[in-house]
Structure 1
Amino acid sequence: MRGLKDKVGVVAGGARGIGAATARRLAEEGACVVIGDLLLDLAQAVAEDIAAKGGRAVAVPLDGTSAESQAEIVRKAVEAYGRLDFYHSNLAGGTDGDIDALNCPVEVLDKSFAINTKSHFLATQAALPVMLESGGGAMIYTSSGAAANGAAWQVAYPMTKNAIHALARHVAQKWGKQGVRANVICPGLVLTEAAGVHLTEEFRKQGLEAVPHTRLGKPEDIAAAVTFLASEDGEWVNGQVWYVNGGTLKRD
C-alpha cells in the first residue's frame, strides 16, 4: 500500500489476535510499529518476530484504561521513531458476566466501559496532540459487529462498542480540516487465538452457516483493512464505520 514506509504507529492490544496480525502487516508495509499490551511477553515476541523478518517494532507495556500509560506509549513512539502517524486502538474485553439488561451487574458494565470505551477515549487524548503538531494522522478504532447486531444475551459490550463510533465521528468532524482521519473497523466472527479457546465447534458451525462466504474471518482480514486506513491509499476515508465480516451484517 502507498505511503506507509517509515510511518510510525501504535498498535494498542497488539500481543495477539487482530492486533498482532495488524502489527505484522504494518511492518511488512514498511511502517515502524510500537506494540502496546498488558501481555508484555507476548507483545515482545511479536516485536522480535517482526525484527527477525527485517521490520521495525518495539513492545511497550500498556494499560489502556490509564491516561498515564496511554501518554507513555505515545511518548515511547516519538522517542523511538521521532513521530506518530497513526494509532490503532484495538482494546476489547470485559465480557464475563455480561448478560441482559435486567441481570448484568453494574460492576460488569463499569468494567466494559473502562476497556471498550474509556481506553479509546484516552488513546485519542494521548495521540491527537502529537498528530496535530505534525500536520495530521489516522486514528483507527476496533469496534464490533455486536454494536449493531442487537444481541439478546449481552448488553454492556454492544453499548460500549457503539460509543466508539460516536468518538470516531467526533474526531473526524472536529479535526479533519487539520489532517486527522478517524475510522472504525467492526470485525465479524474472526478466529483469533481467544476465539479458538472460547468458541465451541457448534458455535463455529453456526457462525459459518450464517455468513454468505466460504469461511470465517482471520486476523489478517482485519489487519488488511486497518493497514489500508493507515496508508495514503485510505486518505479519503474519514468518519466511517466499516463492517469487515464476510457479509454477515450488511450496512449502508
Structure 2
Amino acid sequence: MRHNSTSPCFTCRSGTCGVSPATRTARRRGSAAHRAGKRVLRRQGGHRRAARLGPRAVATVPGIVGRRQGGRGGGAASAAGRRTAAGTGAVPRRDNRRPTGPGRVADDEDCASLVAATVETFGGVDGLFNVPADLSAGTLGRDTDLLDVPLEVWRRSLEVNLTGYFLTARHAVPAMLARGGGAIVNTISGLVLHGDRRRVAYGSSKSGVVALSKHIATRWGKEGIRGNVVAPGLVLTENSMTNNDEQYRATVFETLRSPRFGRPEDIAAAVTFLLSADGEWINGQVLPVNGGTGLR
C-alpha cells in the first residue's frame, strides 16, 4: 500500500514511491531498514560525487583542482576522483605528518603543504572547493544563542569554519595567479540567508565566508580569479539526519518549492558548474541550492 499525501515520505515527499505506512513508521523509529537506508544514502553520495566531479579534477573537503602540465585533466581527474570517493581532498604530506583534512584546515602549515603538494603533483592550481565545518556534538551540538553559547564553541567555529577558508584561499590564490587565474567555491549555509534562533557561532562564521569570497572576487577578479559561494539548503546527509530531528525536517519541508529535500549530487552539480569554464562570468555571487527555500 502506498502512503498518502497527508502523511508524506521524507525521502521522496511525492506520495508515489510505494513505501507503506508500516515501513515509514519503522524508519521513524530507527529500524534496521532505516539505518540501512542511511548507509545507502552515504554510499550513493560519495560515489556519485566522485563520478560527477572526477572528470573535472575536483576533490573535496577542502579540494584543490589541478591538472598536469600539458594536459586538460587526465591524471588529475583520476586522482581527484579517488580522493572524492574516499571522502577527502587531502594531498598526502611528504614528511609523514597527517595530511590536511577537515580537522586540520585551520593549520596554516598544513594548508601551505596542501597547495605545494598539488602544484608539485599536477603542475599548478586551477580551483579550490572549500566545504569543511566543525559539525561535532562538542561544537555544533553546543552552539546555542548569543547569551548562552560557550566561548570555546564560538572560537572553534570561527577557527575551522572561517579561518580555515581564509588559510586555504591565502595559499591557493598565488598559485592560481601563476597560472593566469582560477576559481574558488566556498560553502556556507541557508542559515546565513534566513537567520536562526540558535547556532550563532556557526551562522556568524559562515557569514564571514561570504565577505571573504566577495573580497577575493573584487581584489583579483580582473586577474582571472573567481570567488563564489554555494548556500545549500537541507541536504539529506548523515550529519543532517543526526543534527535535525523529524519535526525540524517537516518544518523545513513546508518552506520548499520542490518535491524533495536536497541530495549531495545537487550541491556537486552547482560546484562543478561554478568551477568550470561554463561559470566564467559568475564572480562574487552567492548561489542558493535549496529547493526554493526563500526567494531572492
The equivalences for 1:69-80 within 5 A come to 69-80=110-121
Q: Do the aligned residues in 2 keep the contact of 1:100 with 1:153 (CA within 8 Å)?
A: yes
Which residue is equivalent to 2:156? 111
Which residue is equivalent to 2:56? 31
Q: Do the aligned residues in 1 keep the contact of 2:53 with 2:59 (CA within 8 Å)?
A: no
Stretches of structure 2 lacking an aligned partner (at least 5 in a row): 1-41, 63-78, 93-98
Q: Give the TM-score normalised by the residue count of structure 2.
A: 0.69
Which residue is equivalent to 1:91? 132
Q: Does 1:213 pair with 2:240? A: no
Distance 1:78 1:23, change over 3 A: farther
The equivalences for 1:2-151 within 5 A come to 22-27=49-54, 30-35=55-60, 47=82, 60=92, 61-62=99-100, 63-93=104-134, 94-151=139-196
Using CA pairs under 8 Å that are at least 6 residues apart, name the structure with larger relative contact order, 1 or 2. 1
Structure 1 residue aligned with 2:215, among 158, 161, 170?
170
For residue 150 of structure 1, report the CA deviation from its aligned partner.
1.6
Q: Give every structure 1 segment of 4 or more consecutive aligned residues whose post-TM-superposition deviation is greater than 6 Å.
A: 15-20
Stretches of structure 1 lacking an aligned partner (at least 5 in a row): 1-14, 38-43, 52-56
Q: Distance in 2 between matches of 1:16 and 1:79?
A: 31
Which residue is equivalent to 1:7? none
Q: Comparing 181-190 with 89-98, which one deviates more in the overlay?
A: 89-98
Q: Distance in 1 between matches of 2:247 and 2:198?
A: 17
Q: Give the TM-score normalised by the residue count of structure 1.
A: 0.80
Q: Do the aligned residues in 2 keep the contact of 1:141 with 1:168 (CA within 8 Å)?
A: yes
Amino acid at match of 1:31: R
> Larger C-alpha radius of gyration, 1 or 2?
2
Greater share of strand residues, 1 or 2?
1
Q: Deviations over 1:103-158 (max 9, x none)?
A: 11111110010111101100111100000011000011001111121211221111
In the alignment of these two chains, the number of paired residues is: 224
- The alignment partner of 1:140 has SS state of strand
Give the CA RMSD over aligned residues.
2.7
Q: Deviations over 1:51-97 (max 9, x none)?
A: 9xxxxx87543111011111111122122222210000111124131
Structure 1 residue aligned with 2:243, among 198, 202, 225?
198
Which residue is equivalent to 1:12? none
Which residue is equivalent to 2:8? none
Q: Percent identity?
A: 41
Q: Do the aligned residues in 2 keep the contact of 1:171 with 1:182 (CA within 8 Å)?
A: yes
